[in-house]
């Protein structure tokens, strides 16, 4: 499978100021496969160490961080001679090694010629909990679930992917039915690599749900094993509430939906745990859509999204027939799916993402994205229902200096104050906005 993040790995390899690289991302987003595939294609040799099951390596850094001793020990156990220019060293599940994160600092300072990539299913948690994180001594790269474009490529739909990449609006208009069907498939399958691979090989929707259920079970097992004991039920409660939070017309996270009388301080640790594990994304509100958006961030008001729309559907047992076909009864939940989907595509750009809502009304802009050139207000509409005044008022009355973007199932049109693009075009558009 082709992953867009592969290009970032190539840039890292050829960078003149390269540092040891940490791959962040939730369990099952494809970090291990990506590291091994990169090593196989770009290096003569790969040394792969998994600290979760290579028992000989668990105490590798316990004695000291002396690089020659570490390399000699690795060579003795793997039988691979490590050459600085020809060998990729992979430290997988590094959080399981005592003092593991600290070793990256000493590779950078004392042996920068070696190529080191580290990852782990819960490395995001370890990075925040470790006392000696190598600040400034590592590069970091986040791996997300597969985007819609990557999904198309996995299905062998490269030509259709190129139509999106090149923003061929006229061709997209003619091919709307085909793209709509593919987008619905993506809503159901999502972007977890194992799920996508299984679906592309077999087309078995039952197996899709089985794998998604296994992934969600693994996340819940991680919560039970690695979260602070008193926070476990709270973390589960927050995670399980996300579908109902997103199904609301106003998708702001409401503590009272979890338990009557709940307060923010009761859930801060739980929410941060899920964010660090890569399971949820937190999008804060801004009070003013000016650059830089972070200056106007309101930390007390936010929306939470799951990392993958397929897992979201699995959590609520959304039947395949309802997701894959037009059905008015299901339209409201398709709206939740659509906003979840758009957020997932936006996250892969690594651009600042926020949202805006009025303090004393129901007016809301689903997302605000800050590019190098401008702030883009984004409104997400399921299907072809685009009847809403929020974006129009926002861009024509409140902030006429901003040009809006509506994502819907209508073809492309530029109305001056706003562009409408099909939902399936958002990833390609946001990578090269006007």
For 181, 197, 289, the CA distances from 156, given in Å and listed in that order, are 15, 12, 40
Q: In this predicted model, what pLDDT tens digit does every residue of 39-70 receive, in sequence order?
A: 999 999 999 999 998 999 989 998 899 999 99
Is 70 exceeded by the pLDDT of residue 78? Answer: yes
Is 80 exceeded by the pLDDT of residue 434? Answer: no
* Residue keyed to tokens 């995001």: 124
Query: At 69, which helix (H) or strand (E)?
Result: helix 67-78
For 121, 176, 226, 396, the CA distances from 218, given in Å and listed in that order, are 10, 37, 12, 47
**How far is 385 from 28, CA to CA, in rounded Å?**
35
pLDDT for residue 327: 53
Nearest residue to 298 via CA among 309, 289, 308:
289
What letter does residue 396 receive in the DSSP assignment? I
Burial of 174 (0-12, 13-18, 19+ CB in 10 A): exposed
Is 50 exceeded by the pLDDT of residue 276? Answer: yes
User: Please, are residues 407 and 127 in contact by the beta-carbon 8 Å criterion?
Assistant: no
Residues 6+ apart with CB under 8 A from 177: none
What percent of the chain is predicted at pLDDT more than 70? 94
Omega within 30 of 0 (cis) for the link into 108? no
Look at strands 375-380 and 364-370 and give their pairing: antiparallel
**Which of 31-35, 58-62, 257-261 is predicted with the least confidence, judged by mean pLDDT?**
257-261
Q: Which two tokens stand for residue 170?
A: 């006229």
pLDDT for residue 130: 52
Is 70 exceeded by the pLDDT of residue 170? Answer: yes
Is 60 exceeded by the pLDDT of residue 364? Answer: yes
- Global pTM exceeds 0.85: yes
User: Please, are residues 240 and 200 in contact by the beta-carbon 8 Å criterion?
Assistant: no
Q: How confident is the model at residue 329 (pLDDT cuts 50, 70, 90)?
A: very low
Look at strands 297-306 and 280-286 and give their pairing: antiparallel
Q: How high is the mean pLDDT of the chain?
A: 92
Q: In this predicted model, what pLDDT tens digit does every residue of 280-312 receive, in sequence order?
A: 999 999 999 999 999 999 999 999 999 999 999
For 69, 76, 402, 411, the CA distances from 79, given in Å and listed in that order, are 15, 6, 60, 58
Q: In this predicted model, what pLDDT tens digit does every residue of 181-194 receive, in sequence order?
A: 999 999 999 999 99
User: Please, are residues 299 and 273 in contact by the beta-carbon 8 Å criterion?
Assistant: no
pLDDT for residue 125: 80
pLDDT for residue 236: 96
3.40.50.300, 3.20.20.70, 1.25.10.10, 3.40.190.10: which CATH number matches 6-142? 3.40.50.300
Cα 386 from chain centre: 27
Distance separating the N- and C-terminal Cα atoms of the chain? 30
pLDDT for residue 333: 67
Q: How confident is the model at residue 334 (pLDDT cuts 50, 70, 90)?
A: low
Give the residue-averaged pLDDT of 244-264.
85
- What residues does CATH 3.40.50.300 cover in the chain? 6-142
- Per the model's pLDDT, the better-predicted residue between 258 and 118 turns out to be 118
pLDDT for residue 322: 75
- Per the model's pLDDT, the better-predicted residue between 255 and 321 turns out to be 255
Q: In this predicted model, what pLDDT tens digit does every residue of 176-227 receive, in sequence order?
A: 999 999 999 999 999 999 999 999 999 999 999 999 999 999 999 999 999 9
Tally the C-alpha atoms within 13 A of residue 338's C-alpha that lie toward its C-beta: 26
What letter does residue 221 receive in the DSSP assignment? H
Q: In this predicted model, what pLDDT tens digit does every residue of 92-106 receive, in sequence order?
A: 999 889 889 999 999
Strands (E), 324-383: 353-357, 364-370, 375-380
């Amino acid at each position: 499978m082709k992953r867009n993040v592969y290009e970032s790995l190539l840039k890292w390899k050829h960078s003149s100021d390269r540092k040891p690289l940490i791959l962040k991302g939730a369990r099952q987003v494809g970090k291990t496969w990506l590291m091994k595939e990169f090593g196989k294609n770009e290096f003569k040799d790969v040394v792969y160490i998994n600290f979760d099951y290579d028992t000989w390596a668990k105490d590798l850094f316990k004695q000291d961080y002396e690089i020659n001793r570490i390399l000699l020990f690795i060579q003795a156990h793997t039988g691979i001679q490590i050459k600085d220019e020809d060998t990729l060293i992979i430290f997988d599940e590094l959080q399981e090694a005592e003092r593991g994160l600290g070793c990256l600092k000493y590779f950078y300072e004392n042996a920068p010629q070696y190529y080191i990539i580290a990852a782990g299913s819960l490395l995001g948690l370890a990075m925040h909990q470790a006392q000696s994180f190598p600040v400034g001594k590592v590069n970091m790269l986040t791996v997300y679930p597969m985007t819609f474009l990557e999904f198309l490529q996995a299905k062998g739909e490269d030509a259709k992917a190129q139509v999106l990449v090149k923003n061929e609006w006229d061709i997209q208009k003619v091919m709307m039915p085909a793209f709509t069907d593919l987008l619905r498939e993506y809503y159901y399958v999502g972007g977890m690599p194992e799920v996508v691979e299984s679906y592309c090989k077999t087309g078995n929707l039952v197996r899709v749900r089985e794998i998604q259920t296994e992934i969600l079970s693994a996340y819940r097992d991680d919560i039970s094993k690695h979260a602070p004991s008193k926070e476990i039920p709270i973390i589960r409660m927050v995670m399980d509430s996300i579908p109902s939070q997103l199904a609301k017309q106003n998708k702001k996270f409401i503590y009272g939906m979890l338990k009557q009388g709940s307060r923010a301080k009761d859930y801060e640790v739980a929410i941060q745990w899920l964010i660090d594990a890569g399971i949820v994304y937190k999008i804060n509100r801004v009070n003013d859509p000016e650059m830089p958006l972070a200056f106007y961030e309101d930390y007390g008001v936010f929306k939470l999204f799951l990392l993958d729309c397929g897992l979201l559907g699995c959590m609520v047992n959304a039947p395949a027939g309802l997701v894959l076909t037009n059905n008015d009864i299901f339209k409201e939940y398709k709206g939740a799916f659509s906003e979840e989907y758009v957020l997932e595509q936006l996250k892969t750009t690594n651009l600042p993402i926020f949202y805006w809502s009025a303090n004393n009304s129901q007016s809301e802009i689903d997302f605000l994205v800050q590019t190098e050139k401008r702030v883009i207000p984004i409104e997400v509409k399921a299907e072809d229902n685009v009847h809403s005044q929020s974006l129009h008022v926002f861009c024509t009355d409140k902030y006429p200096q901003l040009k809006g973007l509506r994502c819907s199932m209508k073809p492309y049109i530029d109305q001056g104050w706003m562009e409408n693009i099909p939902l399936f075009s958002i990833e390609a558009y946001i990578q090269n906005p006007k």
